[in-house]
Amino acid sequence: MLQQLFFAIVAIAALSYAFRQFMTIRRNILLGKDEEISGDEGQRWKNVMLIAFGQKKMFKRWIPATFHLFIYVAFLFTQIELIEILIDGFFGTHRFFADKIGILYPIMLNTIEILSVLALIGTFVFLARRNLLKIPRFHKSEMTWWPKLDANLILIGELVLLAGIFSMNGADAVLQKLDPEHYHDTGFVLFSGTFGPLLLGGLSEGVLIILERFGWWLHILTVFAFLNYLPSSKHLHIMLAFPNTWYARLQPAGEMNNMPEIMDEVKSMMGLLPEGEAPAMDEELPEFGANDVFSLSWKNVMDAYTCTECGRCTSECPANITGKKLSPRKIMMDVRDRAEEIGNNLDSGHFKWIQEDLRNEANALTKANYDDGKNLFDYISNEELHACTTCNACVEACPVMINPLDIILQLRRYEILTQSAGPADLVPMFTSIENGGSAWQIPDDRDKWAVDAMSKD
């Protein structure tokens, strides 16, 4: 009874704190502006099943994809055992499913253990790839101490989780022979049934009980720790990959979203609008593009939180390959960091983050009146933005359908259309088009050559 009470306290505390963190992530994602998501639901479900669940895009690099698949499938199947542990913890039972699903129980245990062994192999392979083989995409400039540590911590956590599973099952296999009344017969289980008696067979019943409970608690506490660590980790993609692929763009990757106001203005300058038709002129010019999390869409921010930091986008980026500063992965990390910064400031409730002209009338700090004097341009340089060739290589490479290019384009549009800035080589061309309707600074009208030719005729 004491163990049940302790388990209930730990479980409720862990789940409650994790829920609070996930709600904070949701709030941070919704800092972005509204975006209408529409399109073929059948295609969206196909994306979820093939790309998020089926990991289709991972297999463009089949070696890491295979080892990732080991860990991923083991993770899915161990949730069955996790459900049983939760039931046992709350109700004081032991192996709740053992006498209820018959022959399926040893099949389940064998499946979980075989997958766990494969996951163990995959974990060692990934530790080696990150720390011994020095795969280039894991050692870019944005992969500082925390992103590197984050990846290693989760792999070490995987080892701890597997240690808990095998110590629990191994000790339990021996206890089934010593105390069958309390330890249900689970049938033959390949690894724990073989190595449990071989390694632990000489231990006393008391020591085995302690070892079995140690493995049980180690497993569940590692799960609770992982659940609460997840919101701070790149491994949040375990959850967000599914909604992110559902809400991903369905248009062809090369199709860019145009802005009607700009299109009409350009057509007007070029004389391409029908005669007598003029673009609508608002009293106040809107802000074009985006300069901060608030002017990106919530889907852009979800992309940032879904990023796995695998670096496939950066390794495929031609600008990065040729030595330019742009890294699509860093763009996504910067957006997430900025959203985190704003979220933390909002949580503080401090009036210093309220826009200065609204402080006297504001009752509380909110998304609407927030201003810390910073924006995404404090994280992402113009050099990075304008190194992008809009080739969509990063979009194609992402295994969970993140779109770094959309964010890059919105930032560039803000810089050029709202700030009237941009690369020094391009500003004269923009000015010339605006003033003379031509990319070249020539004094004559664009159609003067045609008028002259007609007059000669």
Domain covering 260-436 in this structure, CATH number: 1.10.1060.10
**With contact defined as beta carbons under 8 Å apart, do 2 and 88 qualify?**
no
457 residues of the chain, pLDDT tens digit each: 788 999 999 999 999 999 999 999 999 999 999 988 888 899 999 999 999 999 999 999 999 999 999 999 999 898 888 999 999 999 989 888 888 888 998 999 999 999 999 999 999 999 999 999 889 999 898 998 888 899 899 999 999 999 999 999 999 999 998 888 888 888 888 898 889 888 898 899 999 999 999 999 999 999 999 999 999 999 999 999 999 999 999 988 778 777 777 777 677 766 677 766 666 655 566 678 899 999 999 999 999 999 999 999 999 999 999 999 999 999 999 999 999 999 999 999 998 999 988 888 878 899 999 999 999 999 999 999 999 999 999 999 999 999 999 999 999 999 988 887 877 777 777 777 767 666 776 666 666 767 777 776 6
pLDDT for 380 equals 96
pLDDT for 281 equals 58
pLDDT for 259 equals 75
In angstroms, the CA 128 to CA 309 distance is 17
DSSP string of 85-137? HHHHHHH--SSTTTTTSTTHHHHHHHHHHHHHHHHHHHHHHHHHHHHTS--GG
**With contact defined as beta carbons under 8 Å apart, do 313 and 404 qualify?**
yes
In angstroms, the CA 288 to CA 292 distance is 12
pLDDT for 411 equals 95
Q: Which one, of 247, 258, 254, lies nearest residue 410 by Cα?
A: 258
pLDDT for 258 equals 75
In angstroms, the CA 401 to CA 395 distance is 7
pLDDT for 449 equals 67
pLDDT for 408 equals 96
pLDDT for 320 equals 95
Give the residue extent of every domain in the chain: 2-30+61-246, 260-436
Amino acid at 189: V
**With contact defined as beta carbons under 8 Å apart, do 28 and 300 qualify?**
no
DSSP string of 222-288? HHHHHHHHGGGSGGGHHHHHHHHHHSS--S-TT-PPP-HHHHHHHHHHHT-SPTT------SSPPPP
In angstroms, the CA 154 to CA 226 distance is 8
Count Cβ atoms below 10 Å from residue 256 Cβ, excluding itself: 11
